[in-house]
Amino acid sequence: MFLILKPAFAQTQATDIIVTKKGEHISCSITRQDSARVYFKVGGNMSSVEANIPLNEISEIQYGEKKQPQLPTLGQAPGTEQKDDYVPPNTPTVNTQTKKLDAPRKENSISVFASGAWPVGNFNRKTLDTNEIGPGLTGAAAGLTFTHMKKNGLVFGLNCFLSTNELNTEPITHKYLYHSDSAWKADKANWRAFGVHLSFGYHKVFSDDLLMYAKINAGYLSLKYPEVTLSVSSSQYLKFNSSTADAISFGGALGINYRLFQSLGAALEISYLQANCKFNEILVIGEAPATPTNKKISQTMRDVKQSYQNVFISAGVNYWF
């Protein structure tokens, strides 16, 4: 209905009231009316807004059904009205810094990492045992991680990675050198590893944009021993064929996530990973070093052990959903 406003009119309480202010429709509940203004309330929960409009700016008021008085609930004092202050969980909130409506914090993320790899422990020491093959040097890695962070702080994840470490150019093994005084030179080659791990840990939120986490990783690692040649000259060489070993690996990680945009963020992480690998056999072929008979050799190294130990420092991006 169309209402022509007069200088004064009685108080009205109703639901589904629409106040039209210069072409703008406002659905509200009128709380008080006097000769100068209309006081109204928009919304019915904690985010409701109370405001007023001068009468000379109102062109129309449409009234709906009158609001029925709300009966007090059990335990509520008589004469008091129960307010609808319930806010459903995981609803948007107002960012106090930007004053904008932020989406609820998302629990799932996909992260892409690029890493530097620093070998430690047995993976970085000089060869002492004939059954240990060559230390690794500084390398690099790339990883892809899926993470689920629950509101109670628990973290679950799945990640896979590829890493590479340069093989030390010192002799791979002393077993086949025959105490030669010649200077053996190794070709440049790289250890390569592929891993898939499950993660479990805990995270703590420090602000709307910043959180930290700690987690442990356990899973599968495949370590590939590279094909490499030790040589003194074109006629004196040893060639080690490539081989692959599988192992159970474990480690841990500490990280920081910082939200840059609504669904995108940056991540920093430091992690450690270890696996004890055992190669069933590595074939060695070539010419023996200088000997009276200069025999050709073709032998197999069996039960070759290698400890894979790397510290990774990673930087990446997160997509939250």
- Judge whether 18 and 1 are in contact, CB under 8 Å: no
Which residue has better confidence, 77 or 230?
230
pLDDT over 50 (residue 92): no
CA distance 126 to 171: 10
Answer whether residue 89 is part of any domain.
no
Mean model confidence pLDDT for the chain: 73
Answer whether residue 102 is part of any domain.
no
55/125 same-domain check: no
pTM reported for the whole predicted model: 0.61
- Domain with 24, as residue range(s), is 1-68
First vs last Cα of the chain: how many Å apart? 46
- Judge whether 254 and 211 are in contact, CB under 8 Å: no
- Judge whether 280 and 313 are in contact, CB under 8 Å: no
CA distance 80 to 273: 62
- Judge whether 102 and 208 are in contact, CB under 8 Å: yes
Answer whether residue 95 is part of any domain.
no
Q: Looking at beta carbons, which pairs linking 146-152 to residues 24 or more positions away fall under 8 Å?
A: 146/108, 146/109, 146/110, 146/111, 147/108, 147/109, 147/110, 147/111, 147/199, 148/107, 148/108, 149/107, 149/108, 149/109, 149/203, 149/211, 149/213, 150/107, 151/107
Looking at residue 230, its amino acid is L
Which residue has better confidence, 319 or 79?
319
298/169 same-domain check: yes
Answer whether residue 87 is part of any domain.
no
What's the total number of domains in the chain? Answer: 2
Residue 22's pLDDT band, with cuts at 50, 70 and 90, is low
Q: What confidence tens digit (pLDDT) does each residue in 187-217 have?
A: 778 889 999 999 999 999 888 789 999 999 9
Q: What confidence tens digit (pLDDT) does each residue in 62-77 have?
A: 665 555 555 555 555 5
Answer whether residue 218 is part of any domain.
yes
What percent of the chain lies above the pLDDT cut of 90? 29
Spell out the residues 6+ positions from residue 308 whose beta carbon is closer than 8 angstroms to its own. Answer: 123, 191, 193, 221, 223, 247, 249, 273, 274, 275, 276, 277
Mapping DSSP onto H, E and C, the string for 221-243 reads EEEEECCEEEEEECCEEEEECCE
Answer whether residue 80 is part of any domain.
no
51/131 same-domain check: no
CA distance 111 to 147: 8
CA-only gyration radius of the chain, Å: 36
pLDDT, mean of residues 257-271: 91
Which residue has better confidence, 128 or 302?
302
CATH number at 40 reads: 2.30.30
Answer whether residue 91 is part of any domain.
no
- Judge whether 170 and 186 are in contact, CB under 8 Å: yes
164/59 same-domain check: no
185/292 same-domain check: yes
CATH number at 280 reads: 2.40.160.20
Answer whether residue 75 is part of any domain.
no
